[in-house]
């Protein structure tokens, strides 16, 4: 049905589209976060790959229409891969607001003992007094912080939101950098 050369070209187009669309997805996210230098370099690589792929498809699609299918599948898959990669590297900062009726003091002390800055506000909730803990943290630390919150107060209510600019962030001491960051001791 298809010769080996067409399938090989199709697979290369598919994989290259995954790369360029993934880079484009990550570039869009870092652009929204205000990381212009990173967005600049990601954009260069994204477009270099895209030009190579598009020129190949345009030259060969009339004789090998299946290449258009590989192109489309690579685009769709690249969106999913880009989102997954961005979630994994978790760039940026978050604001976590925790509302608790019973564990405000213990949760605040536990987080502060870890080195995590916490600001506490006293307020009135639907069922009486509450403590609101306001925590600015790295996005990659959010999961571990939520585990601690749920362990201290399973009934705590929380809201998380992206923080575009953070003056200063202090990662908790127990959440050391791993992977390539640990080699360079970057945080």
pLDDT tens figures, 119-178:
999 999 888 999 999 999 988 899 999 999 999 999 999 999 988 777 765 566 555 555
If we measure between CA atoms, which residue out of 6, 24, 19 comes closest to residue 53? Answer: 19
> Are 27 and 43 in contact, with CB atoms under 8 Å apart?
yes
Query: pTM score, two decimals?
Result: 0.67
Instruction: Please answer whether residues 148 and 110 qualify as being in contact, where contact means their C-beta atoms are separated by less than 8 angstroms.
Output: yes
Reported residue count of the chain is 187
Distances (CA, A) of 103 to 62, 73, 100, 148, 152: 67, 49, 6, 11, 6
Radius of gyration of the chain (CA): 23
pLDDT of residue 91: 80
Q: Does the pLDDT at position 182 exceed 90?
A: no
- pLDDT tens per residue across span 85-95: 988 888 888 89
How distant, in Å, are the alpha carbons of 13, 44, 153 from that of 23? 15, 10, 39
Do residues 107 and 149 make contact, with C-beta atoms less than 8 angstroms apart? yes
Which is nearest to 6 in space by CA: 68, 72, 54, 51? 68
Whole-angstrom distance, CA of residue 131 vs CA of residue 124: 8
Token code pair at residue 46: 């994204």
Rounded to whole angstroms, the Cα distance separating 167 from 171 reads 13
- Rounded to the nearest 5°, which phi and psi values hold at 138? -70, 145
- In the prediction, which pLDDT does 132 show? 96
């Amino acid at each position: 049905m298809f010769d080996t050369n067409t399938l090989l070209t199709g697979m290369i187009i598919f994989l290259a589209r995954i790369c360029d669309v993934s880079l484009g997805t990550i570039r869009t996210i870092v652009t929204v976060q205000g990381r212009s230098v990173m967005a600049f370099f990601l954009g260069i690589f994204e477009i270099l790959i895209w030009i190579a792929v598009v020129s190949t498809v345009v030259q060969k699609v009339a004789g090998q229409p299946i290449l258009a299918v590989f192109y489309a599948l690579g685009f769709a898959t690249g969106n999913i891969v880009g989102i997954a990669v961005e979630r994994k590297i978790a760039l940026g900062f978050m604001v976590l607001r925790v509302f608790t009726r019973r564990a405000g003091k213990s949760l605040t002390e536990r987080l502060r003992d870890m080195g995590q800055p916490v600001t506490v506000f006293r307020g009135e909730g639907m069922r009486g007094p509450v403590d609101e803990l306001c925590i600015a943290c790295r996005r990659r630390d959010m999961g571990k912080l939520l585990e601690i919150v749920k362990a201290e107060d399973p009934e705590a209510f929380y809201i998380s939101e992206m923080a575009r600019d953070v003056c200063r962030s202090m990662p908790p001491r127990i959440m050391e950098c791993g992977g390539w960051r640990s080699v360079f001791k970057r945080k």
